[in-house]
A = this chain, B = another copy of it.
Amino acid sequence: MIKLFKQGETVQKLCSNCSLQALCMPVGLNGNEMAQLDAVIRQSRRLKKGEYLFRAGEAFTSLFAVRTGFFKTTVMSQDGRDQVTGFFMSGELLGMDGICSHTHSCHGIALEDSEVCELPFGNLEEAGERFPSLQTHFYKLMSQEIVRDQGIMLMLGNMRAEERLAAFLINLSQRLNQRGFAANDFILRMSREEIGSYLGLKLETVSRTLSKFQQEGWIKVDHKHIQLLDPEALKTLIANCSQAL
């Protein structure tokens, strides 16, 4: 892969010509308003696989929108173990947990070489005052995050290992599909251990359950390459859990 930019180098990017606009900030601004929105974004930043976008405990100043790539967020427990609280792909927003205390409460980590837009929170607040539709949209984004978390709680509290993994695969499939990728043939960007951490399972259980799904003929597993052969079977598995993930 040809590297056009050095690691960490920043490039000005504009919302007004971003293809993710519809996912990220679908607020129906006119041309002039959109130009003002461009001023919200400080810069675009590139990260290499494994690099931290922000760390728990760091001062919070900005939200980050994923432009390309893949991220996870993790919360740390004192004894060193940490739990994955979310996976983020293009058009999704990270860092909203930091607003309440001006401090990030989780780590944000790139799972592959990635690029994000930095949205300084002060700029966002200011822009929100000028554009009520932006304001409203931002409320919705935060609310969406709360609803997403509720779904995870439901999963962690009520579902069995197979149901959790099925919900995970279906959710991933749908989000990829929304972004124009194949719904039933994709590469996992995270390890079995990270999946397990997110689902409240051990990596062995994740591995075993994937193998079981393959034996059932529902999926094909080739390391990180997953094919959903019978997505309906997976959906049936989680049918008795609404808000699934």
Which B residue's beta carbon lies closest to that of A98?
B143
In the complex, the answer to whether B153 meets A96 with C-beta atoms within 8 Å is no
Q: Which residues of B contact A199 (CB under 8 A)?
A: 157
Q: Which of B101, B143, B157 contacts A197 (CB 8 A)?
A: B157
Q: Which of B76, B105, B136, B157 contacts A200 (CB 8 A)?
A: B157
In the complex, the answer to whether A143 meets B142 with C-beta atoms within 8 Å is yes
In the complex, the answer to whether A153 meets B83 with C-beta atoms within 8 Å is yes
Q: Which of B106, B140, B157 contacts A99 (CB 8 A)?
A: B140
> Nearest Cβ in chain B — how far from A72, in angstroms?
13
Given contacts A85-B153, A157-B199, 11 further A-B contacts (CB under 8 A): A75-B154, A77-B241, A77-B243, A85-B150, A99-B139, A100-B147, A105-B243, A106-B150, A125-B132, A128-B135, A157-B200
Question: Can you give 15 A-B contacts (C-beta < 8 A)?
Answer: A75-B153, A79-B240, A83-B154, A83-B157, A85-B153, A97-B143, A100-B140, A100-B143, A100-B144, A100-B147, A125-B136, A128-B135, A129-B129, A139-B142, A157-B200
- Chain A residues packing against B (C-beta within 8 Å): 75-79, 81, 83, 85, 96-101, 105-106, 125, 128-129, 132, 135-136, 139-147, 149-154, 156-158, 197-200, 239-243
